[in-house]
Amino acid sequence: MIYLQQVKQSNMSVILERIWQHNQISRVELVEHTSLTSGTITNLTHELIELNILRETEAVSGTVGRKRVLLGFDPHTFRVIGLDISRSSIELVVMDLNGTIMQSAERDMTGIQGPDAYLKVIRELVADAKKSIDAAGCRVLGLGVGVPGPIDHAKGTIVSPPNFPGWSGFPLQMKLEEEFGLVTLIEDDARTSALAERRYGLGKNVKHLVFVTMGAGIGGGVVTDGKIVRGTNGLCGQVGHMTIVLDGKLCDCGNRGCWETVGSIPGILSRWPHGSTLAELRSAALSGDQEAIKCIHDTLVYLEAAMINIQNLYDPELIVLGGSLYPMLADYMDHVKQRLRSRIYAFAKDRLNIEAATFKASQSAVGAAALLFDYLLSEPVRLLSLSERKVEKQ
Amino acid sequence: MIYLQQVKQSNMSVILERIWQHNQISRVELVEHTSLTSGTITNLTHELIELNILRETEAVSGTVGRKRVLLGFDPHTFRVIGLDISRSSIELVVMDLNGTIMQSAERDMTGIQGPDAYLKVIRELVADAKKSIDAAGCRVLGLGVGVPGPIDHAKGTIVSPPNFPGWSGFPLQMKLEEEFGLVTLIEDDARTSALAERRYGLGKNVKHLVFVTMGAGIGGGVVTDGKIVRGTNGLCGQVGHMTIVLDGKLCDCGNRGCWETVGSIPGILSRWPHGSTLAELRSAALSGDQEAIKCIHDTLVYLEAAMINIQNLYDPELIVLGGSLYPMLADYMDHVKQRLRSRIYAFAKDRLNIEAATFKASQSAVGAAALLFDYLLSEPVRLLSLSERKVEKQ
């Protein structure tokens, strides 16, 4: 890319980030909130409106009734598709540029294994979604995909995922890109979940957040200074693999006593030999079964230690908890938070902020769509030209 | 700051970062490595040479013997002073813009307590340093200070430091700024130590690194994408306060079983009732004392768990270990690294990279000086004008 295009892209990026932050903003406010001249802002917003990324709306301001022209994202032209591939389901969402979910679909994949079987379902889901997007006269900007991590980001593959046979090294990103002719990004599902909060959920005004997803496994997604952090090997935020029980059970990752070995759903049930579901454990505890009560008590002790470690190592402004285990934990969270407050630095204790995830089962799919929105905001010129070229090839 | 000055500052920053990365670089290479035009580079490097930040040197290139003009930092004009304030000593270094230590001094502060007594010593040390800097015809760009954390960065104070009576809330930054008439920055000493590696040590080509300092306490400094991360409350990287022993000893921070309670020098000695120094522990273990051997064994078990957590939570490219405990641990590190390799994700095990700190006792003071160098590289126009104003006021 030549120099002038780079400057243009970087200035457009500044404008788009501001508009995302404010939802609606006038050109005058854009001049105030950026270091760009009003001339640059006039030219670039004009171009972004022509490209159907932005649109103007009129608002009447408060007391004096003066009309102001506001800029916001155009919700009518572009769509992004977010897909989440997990061990038990496939979720799809279609979003507009304001982050509104226009359409969603889910398929249960229990008992179904391997990329071929998954691709068959994905093909149907995406074809359906594209059909309605076409029918509405809209265009797809790209496809984001959340997958069980760790992933090799450069290759677009999943790296040796435990309990997910057939996927190790499978060139998922390339396959999907070929299949659908869409700009495609893949990411660890804990990281997409974190991004969903950052862009469309509780994290809009939060610079440092950690998303923790607890279910069959435990994963984490870290946002630092507003940006998703991957780390050197794509392993940043593997909170499920911090040591909680010294010299504990051997974990799939190679370590012993990982939080996941005692705090995930299988980890919890492995400590209670009298049943095979959380519901059974819960009802046994309610009826006074001492072993069930101890199993839940220990689960909370592990959760507390993990939360302390997350707080002291990342110092986030917000920790968001999600995943299929969360609903069971929700009842205990007031108790847990109270105990945590006495265990973190006194001067920071009132700043502890733990919330439940916003998007429930769609969390990772919403974040997968947000991967494309992030791309649009950081490299608009590049994404739009890539997206255009894909359409021409079809 | 008006728009044009901001653009100028941001372009100068790009140039200075590149020069730091390459040590010496030609203008042609700067054009290749940045997105700036050769005109911009000519103008800004000219100005930076006039300001005595950069200087030109001639190099004869390899086979053809052609002379090339290279740009590097000017080591003759500006000096930065780095100071480290700890519970047992005060260290001072004077550095040039190439990161060469021109001068250093140390004072033992064992048994001396409180800001007044410390300020008296700091006054002497800084006055001595300024005298030699003046005598050499150089100018001080500013003063960086490493202190026991946590700190309140906005206020420039230390927040309730354990075992450091009299310092809680003391307006250190303001006092020093008034006292010496220098631009002054303060930072947690684990973070200055990390910055020393990033700028002048093993971290020059490393984007993600964690520095762990182990001594009377255990602290950590985190560099993500090349930048020091503070977190929401200045607590990012408090690795000494991750839970290592579930339901263990109560820690000063409020948590139980923190790594610091068992892995710092006092933590280790609290687990061995037969002596009061590491040297005694070491020699007892060498002479076959089973309790001493177990105490060291357990220390390594805790260290391993902590390293696994650091690796899995931050996924750094490099972990650097330092502090007064490190020399004792050094002998065991080959053994520890071997065990760690079997406990991290198999695909990443060959990428584990743990090294010893570069600057020994001066680590934090060197990093404190690097705070000013960082400031110069990110906001050159602002720092130079602040520094100028301070000189005029004197």
Identify the three-state secondary structure at position A53. Answer: coil
Q: Of chain A residues 56-75, which have a CB less than 8 A from chain B?
A: none
Which of B209, B314, B338 is the best substitution to test chain A (most A C-beta atoms within 10 A)? B314
- What is the predicted pLDDT for the residue at A358? 97
Q: How many domains does chain A have?
A: 3
Contact indicator for B82, B92 with CB cutoff of 8 Å: yes
The whole-number pLDDT of residue B161 equals 75
* pLDDT for the residue B7: 81
- pLDDT reported for residue A72: 97
Show the domain range for A245: 202-357
In the predicted model, is pLDDT for residue B135 greater than 90?
yes
Contact A36 B308 (CB under 8 A): no
CA distance B187 to B153: 7
Q: Which residues on B lie below 8 Å from A230 (Cβ)?
A: 315
ipTM: 0.93
Name the pLDDT band for B394 (thresholds 50, 70, 90): low
pLDDT of residue A392: 73
Q: Are residues B372 and B227 in the same domain?
A: no
Segment among A68-72, B159-163, B245-249 with least mean pLDDT = B159-163
Choose, out of A314, A319, A342, the residue to mutate when testing the contact with B (most B CBs < 10 Å).
A314
Point out the residue among A6, A233, A237 whose CB comes nearest to the CB of B351.
A233
Report CB contact under 8 Å: B232, A36.
no
Does residue B63 carry a pLDDT above 80? no
- Res B216 pLDDT > 70: yes
Mean pLDDT of B101-117: 95
Cβ neighbours of A236 in B, within 8 Å: 208, 313-315
Tell me the percentage of chain B whose pLDDT exceeds 70: 97
Residues 6+ apart with CB under 8 A from A278: A265, A268, A269, A325, A328
Question: How much is the pLDDT for B36?
Answer: 86
The pLDDT of residue B35 is 79
Check residue B68 and give its pLDDT.
86
Q: What is the mean pLDDT of chain B?
A: 93
A234 plus A158 within the same structural domain: no
**What does the pLDDT read at residue B97?**
97
Do B167 and B213 lie in one domain? The reply is no
Is residue B221 domain-shared with residue B345, that is, in the same domain?
Answer: yes
For residue B338, pLDDT over 80 is answered with yes
Interface of B with A in 276-295 (CB under 8 A): none
Which pLDDT belongs to residue A67? 80
Are B136 and B62 found together in one domain? no
| pLDDT for residue A1 | 54
Query: Starting at the edge strand that comes first in sequence, how are the strands of the sheet with A227-228 ordered?
Result: A227-228, A218-224, A209-214, A318-322, A354-356
Task: Tell me the pLDDT tens digit for each residue of B269-301.
Answer: 999 999 899 999 999 999 999 999 999 999 999
Give the whole-angstrom CA distance, residue A86 versus residue A90: 6
| B294 and B206 inside one domain | yes
End of a domain among B45, B73, B101? B73
Indicate whether A126 and A231 sit together in one domain: no
The pLDDT, as a whole number, for residue B346 is 86
Tell whether B13 and B48 lie within a shared domain.
yes
Task: State the CATH number of the domain containing residue B54.
Answer: 1.10.10.10
Q: Which residues contact B59 (CB under 8 A, 6 or more apart)?
A: B24, B67, B68, B69, B70
Put simply, the answer to whether B309 touches A305 (Cβ < 8 Å) is no
Q: With the CA atoms of B172, B174, B179 and B182 taken in that order, what torsion angle do they form, in degrees rounded to the nearest 10? A: 110
pLDDT at A164: 85
Indicate if B22 and B42 belong to the same structural domain. Answer: yes
Q: Across the interface, which of B35, B236, B348 has its CB nearest the CB of A233? A: B348
Residues of chain A with pLDDT under 50: none
- Token couple for B381: 């126009």
Whether residue A150 sits in one domain with residue A22: no
Asked if A250 reaches chain B (Cβ–Cβ under 8 Å), the answer is no
> pLDDT band at B349, cuts 50/70/90?
confident
CATH number for the domain including B342?
A: 3.30.420.40
Q: Where is the domain boundary, B73, B99, B129?
A: B73
For residues A65 and A82, membership in a common domain is answered with: no
- pLDDT of A394 reads 61
SS3 for chain B is: CCHHHHHHHHHHHHHHHHHHHHCCECHHHHHHHCCCCHHHHHHHHHHHHHCCCEEEEEEECCCCCCEEEEEEECCCCEEEEEEEECCCEEEEEEECCCCCEEEEEEEECCCCCCHHHHHHHHHHHHHHHHHHHHHCCCEEEEEEEEECCCEECCCCEECCCCCCCCCECCCHHHHHHHHHCCCEEEEEHHHHHHHHHHHHCCCCCCCCEEEEEECCCEEEEEEECCEECCCCCCCCCCHHHCECCCCCCECCCCCECEHHHHHCHHHHHCCCCCCCCHHHHHHHHHCCCHHHHHHHHHHHHHHHHHHHHHHHHHCCCEEEEECCCHHHHHCCHHHHHHHHHCCCCHHHHHHCCEEECCCHHHHHHHHHHHHHHHHHHHCHHHHHHHHHHHHHHC
Q: What is the pLDDT of residue A161?
A: 75
Q: Are A104 and A7 part of one and the same domain?
A: no
Name chain A contacts of B246, Cβ cutoff 8 Å.
244-246, 301-302, 305
